[in-house]
Structure 1
Amino acid sequence: MKALLNAVEQQLNEHIIRYEPVSGGDINDAYCLHTDSDTYFIKINSKTRFPGMFAAEAKGLSLIASTNTIATPRVILQSDAGYNSYLLLEWLDTKSANASDMQALGEQLATMHRVSADSFGLPYNNYMGSLHQSNKQYLRWADFFIEERLMPMVKLAVDKSLLNNNDLKQFDKLYNNLANLFDEEAPSLIHGDLWGGNYLIANNGKPYLIDPAVSYGHREFDIAMTTLFGGFSNDFYTAYNDAFPLATGWQQRLALWNIYPLLVHLILFGVMYKQQVMGNLSKYI
């Protein structure tokens, strides 16, 4: 830790006065870092276990920020020191969200989702949690969702004996029918991991997105993830739909798009998630 802090001091040209641990998720060590000039948030992990994770996260934060649609914490530094990688961000003083804050979050996410591209995917890969996420580009969301989202996670689950050959046959049925289950839309810039822990409300009511797993995807994917673990109020959904109405039947497709994050949880946290994965899958085959 001392070598890493020395490296940060040199790059910042500021003296670190103290630091204290804060919540930073399951993957990283996180600290509030106080210098003689400012306060920062720093995340630290192993550069060999998670190569390129923070570089991809910094690019994702900067990509969202560049759209001028919704805020992200400003990236200060991203580098390696010894065996570790670190990401230094601006520190945000935050509060609990009220109705107007959730409305602003919904409106601004809708505006971000209007940012489009020629294809689904991204020119670079990133991570979903601690799992590598390929973003090879496709012209159709159905192809991207199957090839770059579902299939890699299904393979990992099979390799870990969390899914079996009969489960694979059920996924094959979904692959064959997926294109008939929704209407294709133009690619939208999506956060990619939009659960309730990945937004913040600053003390002035300004929404911020954090910990992105960005790509250009179907915007219903982000909306689906907001429903997986709670944390988003009716004010959020109403404001979103007023700003950028979702296609008819979107509520019936939430469980479809959530198969992917549930597969991620199956791989990371074990067989307790299999019933939910297969339950969601059974609705669409």
Structure 2
Amino acid sequence: MLKIPNDLSCYLNESGMGSALKIQPINGGYTNQVYLLETENRIKTFLKINTIGCQSVFIREADGLKALENVNGIRVPQIYGYGEDWLLMEFIEVSEPVESYWIDVGEGLAKIHLTTNEKFGFANDNFIGNNLQVNTWNTDGFKFFSEYRLGFQFELACQKGYIANDYCKLFDRLIFRLHDLIPVQPASLMHGDLWVGNLMCGPQGVPVFIDPAVYFGWAEADLAMTTLFGQFEEDAYNAYENVRPLTFGYRDRFDIYNLYHLLNHLNLFGVSYLTRVQNILDKYS
């Protein structure tokens, strides 16, 4: 059975939730251990336990969830409390989607992206999976994306020995061409890790975002990731565009944005993602 951290036990009692009564492991967490924790006052909570040894990971996740919650675009789990190695959140029961579910997803995401900032980045660095996500503020979206998204992950992949010299040249060529390939865009608030697994259907069929890697960046990059591992239904994109019109040809740019996440997966999980990285670099050579 999981040993409850002392500061979590104190929090449960001081908050009035009561001490932990039942702890049940939940499948699905590759970065952290996840549990359904029920207290003696019959309150169900979702507990994450840090397994990567980084003391700020849950603080940063909480910051991101609060940023999304403040926009009121799509529901996120309520944060109850957190420590260096634990994060306690609202436990959201999964339900069946209502007829307007994908429309609600698209409209809600568009509302989030309508929240903009003068600079790209975020108040703090955070995490994309186990890897650091650098969010140093920058007024230039192209510089931010090339250095702190693509460049950071590509350099890490080179250090791990995944990248051959020929592909270093292709990567440099892609970076050189970014201004021609991507239109100027504002710095929009983003979920940051928006694959279909980080969208769930909560009570009454309401969409819920989980596990963000929040920053201000190019909104098209969020949309791109919704097609990377599975895909949102078409109603979501149509509803999105009714709220926040998109620039012509935005889907043609998805591979460039998704290169960031494929490089991250290459660095997290190894060579099974290398061919997809190489294919994108070949495409823009």
Name the TM-score, length of structure 2 as normaliser.
0.94
Contact 1:30 1:43 in 2 (8 A): yes
Name which of 18, 43, 49 aligns with 2:48. Answer: 43
Q: How far is the alpha carbon of 1:241 from its aligned partner?
A: 1.4
Partner deviation per Cα, 1:17-47 (whole Å, 9 max, x = no partner): 1010113421111000101221100000136
CA shift for structure 1 position 15: 1.9
- For residues 224-239 of structure 1, what are the structure 2 equivalents within 5 Å? 224-239=224-239
Structure 1 residues 278 and 41, CA, compared in 2 at 3 Å: closer, same or farther?
same
8 Å Cα contact 1:192-1:213 kept in structure 2:
yes
Q: Once the two structures are superposed, what CA deviation does each residue of 1:134-192 show, in whole Å capped at 9, x if it has no partner?
A: 01111122111101011111111111110022111111001111011121111100011
| SS of residue in 1 equivalent to 2:255 | helix
Aligned to 1:262, what secondary structure does the other structure show?
helix
Query: Residues 153-232 of structure 1 correspond to what in structure 2 (within 5 A)?
Result: 153-232=153-232
Q: What is the alpha-carbon distance in structure 2 between the residues aligned to residue 231 and residue 153 of structure 1?
A: 24
| 1:250 maps to amino acid | Y
Give the conservation status (yes or no) of the 8 Å contact 1:99–1:235: no
3-state SS, counterpart of residue 264 of structure 1:
helix
Cα distance in structure 2, aligned partners of 1:79 and 1:118: 31
Instruction: Choose which of 62, 70, 74 in structure 2 pairs with 1:70.
Output: 74
CA contact (8 A) 2:33 2:51 kept: no
* Counterpart in the other structure of 1:26: 30
User: 1:132 maps to what in 2?
Assistant: 132
Supply the distance in 2 between the matched residues of 1:231 and 1:186 (Cα, whole angstroms): 24
- Of the structure 1 ranges 187-196 and 265-274, higher mean CA displacement relative to structure 2 is found in 265-274
Distance 2:275 2:99 in 1: 34
Q: In structure 1, what is the Cα distance between the partners aligned to 2:99 and 2:257?
A: 27
Query: Could you say which residue in structure 1 is the equivalent of 2:7?
Result: 7
Pairing of 1:103-142 with structure 2 (within 5 A): 103-142=103-142
2:120–2:140 CA contact under 8 A, matched in 1: yes
Identity of aligned residues (%): 37
The SS at the match of 1:240 is: helix
Q: Distance in 2 between matches of 1:169 and 1:150?
A: 14
**Corresponding position of 2:56:** 52
Change (3 A) 1:234 1:59: same
Paired positions, count: 279
Deviations 1:58-108 (A, max 9, x none): 00001111122221101101103xxxx010000101124354111101100
Deviation at 1:231, TM superposition (A): 4.1
The farther-off stretch of 173-182 and 96-105 is 96-105
The AA in structure 1 aligned to 2:58 is F
- Output the CA distance in 2 between the equivalents of 1:27 and 1:46: 7
Asked if structure 1 preserves the Cα contact closer than 8 Å seen for 2:8 and 2:86, the reply is no
Q: Which runs of 4+ in 1 moved over 3 A?
A: 96-99
| Unaligned residue ranges in structure 2 (runs of 5+) | none
Runs of at least 5 residues in structure 1 that lack an aligned partner in the other structure? none
For 2:139, what is the secondary structure of its paired residue?
coil
- The amino acid across from 2:47 in the alignment is I
Q: Which residue of 2 aligns with 1:279?
A: 279
Q: 1:9: Cα distance to partner?
A: 2.8
